[in-house]
Amino acid sequence: MNAVLVAVVVLCSSTGPARSVSPHARRPPARGPVPGQGGFAGRPLDGRSINQLLVSATSAESIMRVFIDHRDRFEDVNLSTAWNRLGKQHIIPSDRRVFFHRNERTLADMNDRTDRIVHRLAPRNLAGIAHGIARVGYRAGHRTMLRIAHRALNCLADFKAQEIANLVWALSKAGLAAPDLFDAVARETRHRLHEFKPQELSNTAWAFSKAGVRAPAFFAAIAAEAIPQLALFKAQELANLVWSFATVREPAPRLFEEVAREAMPRAHEFNSQELGNFAWAFAKADHSAHALFNALAAEAVPRLHEFKAQELANTAWAFATAGVRHDELFAALARVFVTRVHLFKSQEVSNTIWAFATAGADEPELFYAAAEAVSDRMDEFRTQEIANTAWAFATAGISAPRLFTAVAHELRERQGEFNLQELTNVAWAFAKRNIATEDIYELLCDATCPMVAQLAPQGIANMAWAFATVNAPSAHRLLAAIERTLVERMSSELLHEFKAQEIANLVWACATVGSSSERLFDVLATFVPARVAGFEPQDIANTAWAFSVTQQMRPALAAALVARTIESGADAFGLEASCQLHQFNMALQLDQPFLPDRVDTVLPASPAGYRLGDTPPLELPHEMASNFLAAMVVQAPAASSQLHNDVSFALSQLGVAHVNELCVAHAGYHCDIAVLPDPALSMPRVLMASALWPRAQTAGAACRVVEVARPPSPPSPPALAAVRSVIIEVNGPWHYTLNRMPRPASVTKARHLRKLGWHVIEVPYWDWEQLNTLMGKEAYLRRELEQIDFAPAAGERRPPAATSARRLNAARTLDISGAENGRTALRARTDARSSPAALDDAARPSVQPPRGGIRTLDRSGAATRRVALRARAGARAAPAMPHDAARPQMQPPSTGAALLPTGEARVAWDGDAVGALVKRLVVEVRGISTAKGESLLARATVLAGQGRNLGALSVADWQCPGIGERLAERVQLAASGAHPTSSGSLREERDERAGK
């Protein structure tokens, strides 16, 4: 049979001519690889071949295609490779959601298959799957990752270093909590860290910090292992390493020191994110490394255009937190921020302006740009970001009304969302900017009062300070809640947690508001004496002032405050603090005996030898007290209020001679209206503020000081013409609480003045506002004056004879600061023919014409009063005073040395005559205002002191500041022929001359 077949084949092949095959003849196509199959089409693929397909895939979609085509033949290793390779594919965030949606079923199938084989996977595969799921961001795979973490607990010893690092990194990246696994890793691999490469050390530390796992011993081991090989770390690994330690606040000073030394010459290797993270880590760890920050700043400034918004914000925050002021960097950051503020998220805006405010960077353009952006996008901001933003603008002192209006709106709309710290920051910010929006503080009070017990000491102090600063109507309610909380929680020693500044701010707030906080002050007084040694100068002043004006001072506290004040030195205290300590010194002299110390009072180590029951110091050292008194004296008001001027006018209509805005010697208090014991013998002394307090902001301004020359004599019968030694305080709303109770500061001032021998009348604003007519106002003042009992009250002192010699001498020394200072100031004013308006306009006697023959004290200054005194009294000597020899004598200026006529051409014009003439000129000559009248009075005083006849002056003689040629012509015409008399009007004089 086979032979037959062979024969047939041969016959067939030999039949016909042979045909040649063309090289272009069509051949069947080659069976090459098809998509998804590589070179394995046409035959079943094994696991190794599928792995090769997965490794050669160039996109996430092609990996999905391999799984779809060969899912039934996928082995364990193939699933691990698929997830690992999927995690390494770069999928931009905008395409990630589309990818997950398109491959939802495929991914779910792959995840289910993986989940079913976790129990038998090797460590390498477990780590690879977890790493891939975490990197690709597949949230549905988190359940599988947790199963992997549980499986790893049973075979952790079999994991290699890289596998451990990858597994914990993946869990942290996915945000999954696996505390048991992390504890096991920290416990079992601490002694294997020598197996870890730099990247693995860095990734492991990052994973623990990202998961918030505290493992001090493990982190210490990582630091010890990393330090010797820091040179092998890449820039990113260095940044991640220090970031990790800073995040979990694990102290590693040597690691940070060595990393800083390694990073400084390599700063150029860091990208923008790493530069920001590096600075953030060192700031967060509170590790001082100024040289490193300067190197980072030098590298960052020319590359800020590469920084993302978050990186810019982190860099600014880091430098501000570290306290590194790099002006060039902050200026560059501000320029970038202004142009890209619309790209910043709410947290990034908040952090940036917080950083600039904290660093004190003077970049107003940044704040203005931020104010507009925040105001427009306030609904995007979280409550913490709103509070931080308000705090930043208040700290920087930037006026942003629109921003604060938006903050107030959000506070009303979202009041239940703000926590206590945020409420405190908002209250502080509004108070710092002096924004007294009443409903906002009511809202803050309503939200805070029920939760005061949860406030930290700083929050309590800041909230109290804020409400007191703006005089919020609800301040009393808030302070009452604070007092209840603090007194009730004394067993928990909450008050002992207060810092010095917080104690000082709290008591200052209570004293400023006038809150009834006796129990709180009583409790504070038991332990504050032992804490005073740590008080800063402003804390000393606030505490001493608060306890003094509320009359809650205790002997132990007074002794401790005196000792701390002396230790600090007078130069340590500013103007305001010096004024507060002067009142404290007045309290030492006038308010003792103080309340007794409690038996549980903790005494300070200094002053040595002080025991409970001892008498506190009677006053501060003389030189220091003089310095503080000088500070009080130069605090002259800028101007009198309209209410004050109205009372002064009514008093003038009664014919009562008085002086406005006068400072009482020794007490240092500036009083609204003073009726002097004897205006002739107790002349106001005109001083330059710089002579008393060179550091004062008001240096160069003039102020007037008066000291009572002799005890007042009781009038018999009482008559307004005999009223003397009276202080009239015109008290506006600030002097009272909402229920119209006087504030402690006002009460203290009146109390001290009374104890110094003055009769004090207080005119409340609400009483005066009810008087609609001048007659009613005069009747009110007459009634108050006639009710004065000029007999000394029990416990009160006769001024100043009843004062100690030491205090009297101090008062006299500070009263005028020496005759030379007074003469210098007066001579400078007189020679320059300057307007008395250069003095405090409010510090002048009333200018209304007298009624009933009662002389009103003129405004001609000390020189005019000396002229008046000699012309009126002649050679009559002033009544002697105790210690009169110690009193510096005021000499007249050189320009007024000739007080009496020496020839026929000289005319003796006394002070009353000069004042009367000028007052009538002010009335009769149109165009002379009060200010110009002051200038005219100064000019007339100088000319009268030279013996010139004011009735025969030329137009040129009358010209002075404010009085030009045209106005001088009217003055010369009106004054022509005037005689040196203090009574009658010019018109009467002219009529008399015409009649003659």
* Amino acid symbol at 415: Q
Residue 618: CB atoms within 10 Å? 14
Helices (H), ranges, 946-985: 955-958, 965-975
Q: Which of 544, 555, 698 is nearest to 624 (CA)?
A: 544
- What is the pLDDT at residue 856? 32
- What is the pLDDT at residue 154? 87
Q: Does residue 838 have a pLDDT over 80?
A: no
- What is the pLDDT at residue 355? 94
Distance (Å, whole) CA 681 – CA 703:
19
Q: What is the pLDDT of residues 358-398, one digit of tens each?
A: 999 889 999 999 999 999 899 899 999 999 999 999 999 98
Query: Is the peptide bond between 679 and the residue preceding it cis, with omega within 30 degrees of 0?
Result: no
Containing 731, the helix (H) or strand (E) segment is: strand 726-731
- What is the pLDDT at residue 918? 83
8 Å CB contact between 829 and 838: yes
47-51, 502-506, 705-709: the lowest-pLDDT one: 705-709
Q: Which of 768, 802, 796 is nearest to 784 (CA)?
A: 768
pLDDT-derived band at 614, boundaries 50, 70, 90: confident
- What is the pLDDT at residue 705? 64
pLDDT-derived band at 802, boundaries 50, 70, 90: very low
**What's 782-809 look like in SS3?**
HHHHHCCCCCCCCCCCCCCCCCCHHHHH
Q: What is the pLDDT of residues 653-671, one digit of tens each?
A: 888 888 888 888 778 888 8
Q: What is the pTM of this model?
A: 0.66
- What is the pLDDT at residue 760? 92
The DSSP call for residue 726 is E
Q: Does residue 242 have a pLDDT over 70?
A: yes
Q: What is the pLDDT of residues 965-988, one digit of tens each?
A: 878 888 888 888 787 764 444 444
Distance (Å, whole) CA 104 – CA 115:
16
Q: What is the pLDDT of residues 851-895, one digit of tens each?
A: 333 233 333 333 333 333 333 333 333 333 333 333 333 333 333
* Amino acid symbol at 967: L
Residue with the larger pLDDT of the pair 356 and 799: 356
- Start-to-end CA distance of the chain, whole Å, equals 184
Which residues have a Cβ under 8 Å from the Cβ of 83 and sit 6 or more positions away? Answer: 110, 114, 128, 129, 131, 132, 133, 136
Distance (Å, whole) CA 309 – CA 155:
44
Residue with the larger pLDDT of the pair 481 and 613: 481
Distance (Å, whole) CA 60 – CA 514:
72
* Amino acid symbol at 968: A
Q: Does residue 709 have a pLDDT over 80?
A: no
Q: Does residue 281 have a pLDDT over 80?
A: yes
Average model confidence (pLDDT) across the chain: 77
- What is the pLDDT at residue 101? 87
- What is the pLDDT at residue 493? 62
Q: Does residue 783 have a pLDDT over 50?
A: yes
What is the DSSP secondary-structure string of 649-710?
HHHHHTT---EEEEEETTT-PEEEEEE-S-TTTSPPEEEEHHHH-TT-TTTT-EEEEE---S
pLDDT-derived band at 60, boundaries 50, 70, 90: confident
Residue with the larger pLDDT of the pair 755 and 716: 755
Long-range contacts of 608-615 (CB under 8 A, 24+ apart): 610/556, 610/559, 612/555, 612/556, 613/555, 614/555, 614/559, 615/555
Q: How far is CA 799 from CA 51, 676, 725, 802, in A?
A: 106, 12, 9, 6
Distance (Å, whole) CA 655 – CA 659:
13
- What is the pLDDT at residue 226? 94
- What is the pLDDT at residue 805? 33
Copy the structure tokens of residue 139.
């949230």
Q: Does residue 326 have a pLDDT over 80?
A: yes
Mean pLDDT of 680-705: 54
Q: How far is CA 862 from CA 538, 879, 888, 890, in A?
A: 37, 19, 14, 9
Residue with the larger pLDDT of the pair 153 and 919: 153
- What is the pLDDT at residue 303? 92
- What is the pLDDT at residue 72? 84
Copy the structure tokens of residue 587.
């309290």
Q: What is the pLDDT of residues 335-363, one digit of tens each?
A: 999 999 999 999 999 999 999 999 998 89
Which residues on adjacent β-strands are paired with residue 845? 659
Where do we find the tokens 């908002």? 426
Q: What is the pLDDT of residues 438-494, one digit of tens each?
A: 788 899 999 999 888 888 888 999 999 999 998 888 888 898 888 888 877 654 466
- What is the pLDDT at residue 843? 36
Q: Which of 858, 979, 827 is nearest to 908 (CA)?
A: 979
Residue 328: CB atoms within 10 Å? 11
- What is the pLDDT at residue 9? 37
- What is the pLDDT at residue 697? 54
Copy the structure tokens of residue 91.
């999928």
Distance (Å, whole) CA 465 – CA 278:
38
531-535, 677-681, 750-754: the lowest-pLDDT one: 677-681
Q: Does residue 840 have a pLDDT over 70?
A: no
8 Å CB contact between 655 and 721: yes
**Domain ranges for the chain:** 36-188, 419-493, 499-598, 632-730+746-755+770-831, 858-877+904-995
Q: What is the pLDDT of residues 153-211, one digit of tens each?
A: 888 999 999 999 999 999 999 999 899 999 999 998 989 999 999 999 999 999 999 99
pLDDT-derived band at 915, boundaries 50, 70, 90: confident
Q: Does residue 801 have a pLDDT over 70?
A: no
Mean pLDDT of 62-71: 87
Percent of the chain at pLDDT > 90 equals: 34
Mean pLDDT of 276-285: 91
- What is the pLDDT at residue 298? 93
Q: Does residue 241 have a pLDDT over 90?
A: yes
Query: Is the peptide bond between 717 and the residue preceding it cis, with omega within 30 degrees of 0?
Result: yes
Mean pLDDT of 591-612: 76
Mean pLDDT of 119-147: 91
Q: Does residue 799 have a pLDDT over 70?
A: no
Q: Does residue 19 have a pLDDT over 60?
A: no
